[in-house]
Amino acid sequence: MNPKKAIYPGSFDPLTFGHLDMIERSLHVFDELTILVACNPIKKPMFTLQERVGIIKKHFQDDKRIHVESFDGLLVTYMKANSYQICIRGLRVLSDFEYEFQMAITNKQLYSSFDVFFLLCDIRFANLSSTLVKEIIRFNGDVSIYVPKSVLELIEKKKEISHEF
């Protein structure tokens, strides 16, 4: 029997409790999960691609079911090249569904084996996004209720080095 494996793509900038919840709950359904960290040139990241990959790898270093990789390009190109068919997408609010549904249809047209597994977020994280966390950081707000302690420590270091945040 082949293990059920899936991909959970995103920018993870920064990694939040919402992301962690999605990852942990995905592992109730799938045997293996690859967290695919996106290089999105449109977004201005707080952390470099290498830093984001490192943060996630460190957080899940003891879990052999989780693999962490990065990519630059179309998700379906990566999925085809690595024999993945299932993509995890989290839904917080109705607007997420509209966007994700459009993306799912497009990805299916580009890769006929593509399938998406929509997972509703825990209600505690329905308002949470990395963009919101970065906005709070920019105005010196407390994000400790949104990110793990290890990420919070890296944010503080980043703020000391760069006065952008």
Q: How confident is the model over 67-86, as pLDDT tens digits?
A: 999 999 999 999 999 999 99
Encode pLDDT of 112-137 as tens digits: 999 999 999 999 999 999 999 999 99
Domain contains 20: yes
Q: Does residue 95 or residue 91 have the better pLDDT?
A: 91
Return the pLDDT at 41: 73
130 a catalytic residue: yes
Residue 55 contacts residue 154 (beta carbons within 8 Å): yes
Return the pLDDT at 79: 97
43 a catalytic residue: yes
Domain contains 26: yes
Q: Determine which one of 25, 67, 80, 92 is catalytic.
A: 92
Encode pLDDT of 43-64 as tens digits: 788 999 999 999 999 999 999 9
pLDDT surpasses 70 at 105: yes
Return the pLDDT at 159: 81
* DSSP letter for each residue of 123-142: GGGTT--HHHHHHHHHTT--
Sheet hosting strand 66-71, strand order edge to edge: 66-71, 32-38, 5-10, 86-91, 115-120
Return the pLDDT at 95: 86
150 a catalytic residue: no
* Neighbour-count burial of 32, counting CB atoms closer than 10 A to its CB (0-12 exposed, 13-18 middle, 19+ buried): middle
Placement of tokens 């460190």 in the chain: 58
Question: What's the structural domain count of the chain?
Answer: 1
Return the pLDDT at 69: 97
Mean pLDDT, the chain, rounded, equals 92
* Structure tokens that stand for 125 in this block: 């994280």
Return the pLDDT at 9: 97
pLDDT surpasses 80 at 161: no
Domain contains 94: yes
Domain contains 132: no
- For residue 78, what is the domain's CATH number? 3.40.50.620
Q: How confident is the model at residue 94 (pLDDT cuts 50, 70, 90)?
A: confident
Domain contains 108: yes
Q: Determine which one of 19, 52, 89, 134 is catalytic.
A: 19
Beta-strand (E) ranges in 18-149? 32-38, 66-71, 86-91, 115-120
Q: Does residue 159 or residue 91 have the better pLDDT?
A: 91
Domain contains 101: yes
Residue 37 contacts residue 3 (beta carbons within 8 Å): no
113 a catalytic residue: no
What range does the domain containing 64 cover?
5-126
Q: Determine which one of 52, 89, 130, 134 is catalytic.
A: 130
